[in-house]
Amino acid sequence: MELVCKLYNVTLELKASKTFFIYNLMDVVLTTLNDMTKAANIEDFDKWEISEAYRLGRLGKKDGKKTRPILITLTLAWRKKELLRNSKKLPENIYITEDYPKDVINIRKELKMKQQAERKKGKIAYIRYDKLIVKDNNTKIPTKENEKRKRLPTDSPTQQHTKEGKEATALSKINKTNALGLPTRLRANSTSENNKQ
């Protein structure tokens, strides 16, 4: 149930010096995302694609040094994937991360160390939600055994041989007769010497 609730949540951190109020927060998020979509050459975001946008943090005294992230809930899962895929094309000082529950974040921090150790061993390792997935690295230097097999070259048509091993001769052209037995007309407008006689 926890995974379903957090499925479309993305955290957006605006580290720019702009100050904005809560009533135009949705407009700020939309303009930021649409700037990214122009750079990534994808479709612009509409207001209906973002169901919620609110600022996190600030319990107690105001601290100007810390940035307060904005939690965005999207209505479409493919838009979330597209947003995370193109997060490098966002303007400077703006970061996007996927929102996870606190216990999953702690598990992911522990798994990050194991992931780095597995990568040093030469294996492929990545974290999916709260699990570490490790695969063997199957890329090998090509040798004669695992090299891609190529087709043998084929004989050219001039080198065709019959069953006895003798070269086959090309058949002479056969003149076909008129199948209906009707007389054929000579071409009247032909410039050929044979037709004029």
Lowest mean pLDDT among 24-28, 73-77, 97-101, 143-147: 143-147
Amino acid at 97: T
Highest mean pLDDT among 5-9, 93-97, 149-153: 93-97
Q: How far apart are CA 119 and CA 67, in angstroms?
A: 33
Q: What is the pTM of this model?
A: 0.50
Lowest mean pLDDT among 53-57, 135-139, 165-169: 165-169
Which CA distances in Å does 183 have to 115, 180, 191, 195? 89, 9, 21, 15
Share of the chain above pLDDT 70, in %: 58
| Whether pLDDT at 134 is above 50 | yes
* Contact by Cβ (8 Å): 25, 54: yes
pLDDT of residue 6: 41
Q: Which domains does the chain have, with CATH numbers?
A: 2-99 (3.30.70.330), 104-135 (no CATH)
pLDDT tens readout for residues 61-80: 676 666 778 888 888 888 88
Average pLDDT, rounded, for the chain: 72
Tokens of 86: 């193109």
- Degrees (nearest 5) of the Cα angle 5, 128, 86? 80
